[in-house]
Amino acid sequence: IVASFHRKVLAGKRVLVTAGPTFEPIDPVRGITNLSSGKMGYAIARAAREAGAEVTLVSGPTALTTPYGVHRINVQTAQQMHDVVISHIRDEDVFIAVAAVADWKVVNASEQKLKKNTEGDAPQLQFEQNPDILAEVAALPHKPFCVGFAAESENLLQYGEEKRRKKGIPLLVGNIGHQTFGKDDNELVLFDERGHRRLPLASKQNLARQLIAEIAERL
Ligand code: CTP
Ligand code: CA
């Protein structure tokens, strides 16, 4: 890994990374989000930059510092993340979708703050599916090299390979523990057309460097 970073394996390449959770409003002061901290995505953006790439990071709400030399664009909703990604994608060589994107948005979000009422009625939220950013990018005629992530709670080896094929991508990264959210360490499994390979427990920054080396070999 160290050797590949001395060689700047991604020099001259442009890499777009999504990271963090998304936030889907219910009203002006409330919304639906998830437990993604953004740490894995930020570590990957940092590793790609260290490897010589020009890196754009499209980030949902996180408490993290922008990695050195990385161009960060902040978004809240899945739709905003989609629009930013699609407007940048034609210049990119690699797309790494690390964000935990909300699968649904609230279509009847209120323009004003919802108020409790004396009857104790709860608001009725209606949902609609969000665009699948990764699947859309992977279907473009001039697509970048696409890498997906999958957080599964069971059957990772089966679901991981199925998800890779369903999304039409050459490389998918599964989290072995689904308790990865917020942690500094992780264990990954890489799925490609040849099968799967484990990256044992290590810091997210170390795993990010290994993943960047794996991606660079495949370009
Ligand atoms: N993804 C995306 N846009 C979405 C949903 C997911 O770009 N609207 C990306 C994620 O960033 C990740 C990959 O797709 O790289 C897999 O996300 P995941 O939630 O595991 O898969 P889904 O296809 O949404 O399937 P499900 O949640 O039902 O398992
Ligand atoms: Ca999902």
Kindly state the average pLDDT of the residues 72-90: 98
97 strand-pairing partners: 18, 148
Indicate the pLDDT class of residue 120, thresholds 50, 70 and 90: confident
Q: Cβ(191) to ligand 1 under 6 A? A: no
Domain 2-110+123-218 has CATH 3.40.50.10300: yes
In degrees and rounded to multiples of 5, residue 123 shows phi and psi of -65, 145
Asked whether residue 117 carries a pLDDT value surpassing 90, the answer given is no
pLDDT of amino acid 4? 52
Asked whether residue 71 carries a pLDDT value surpassing 60, the answer given is yes
Indicate the pLDDT class of residue 153, thresholds 50, 70 and 90: confident
* 61 belongs to an annotated ligand binding site: no
Calculate ∠ Cα 97-89-92, nearest 5°.
85
ipTM over 0.95: yes
Q: Cβ(162) to ligand 1 under 6 A? A: no
Asked whether residue 166 carries a pLDDT value surpassing 60, the answer given is yes
* 184 belongs to an annotated ligand binding site: no
How far is it, in rounded angstroms, from Cα 35 to Cα 8? 33
Q: What three-state secondary structure class fits 71?
A: strand
In degrees and rounded to multiples of 5, residue 10 shows phi and psi of -110, 20
Q: What is the pTM of this model?
A: 0.96
Asked whether residue 5 carries a pLDDT value surpassing 70, the answer given is no
How far is it, in rounded angstroms, from Cα 73 to Cα 94? 17
pLDDT of amino acid 1? 54
In degrees and rounded to multiples of 5, residue 133 shows phi and psi of -60, -50
pLDDT of amino acid 193? 95
Catalytic residue annotation: 34
Asked whether residue 40 carries a pLDDT value surpassing 60, the answer given is yes
Pocket test of ligand 1: the residue of 134, 152, 161 to mutate, having most ligand atoms within 8 Å of its CB, is 134
Q: Cβ(169) to ligand 1 under 6 A? A: no
